[in-house]
Amino acid sequence: MMFRQGWLSRFMIFFGYLMAAIYVMLGVVLLATDIFPVKPPALKFSFALFLIAYGFYRLVKLVTKRTETND
């Protein structure tokens, strides 16, 4: 095999952190800027709040999975 054994596992952990950051950043951008001026403000706020919450949820899941012990 061309790569070492754990490269995919490390890549997926990095990808998980990256996606959590992207979700939070998209939520903040949607909340703080006027990217979609046609959409109602309540809809934009709802989507932004969902993206931020989901990003933090993914981050917490990654951190707790990393710190929990394997039995």
Give the model confidence (pLDDT) of 10-60 as tens digits: 888 899 999 999 999 999 999 998 888 888 989 999 999 999 999 999 999
Assess contact for 51 and 26: CB atoms under 8 A: yes
Q: Which residues lie closer than 8 Å to 12 by C-beta, 6 or more apart? A: none
pLDDT (0 to 100) of residue 65: 85
Q: Does residue 16 sit in helix, strand or coil? A: helix
Secondary structure percentages of the chain, helix, strand, coil, to 5: 75, 0, 25
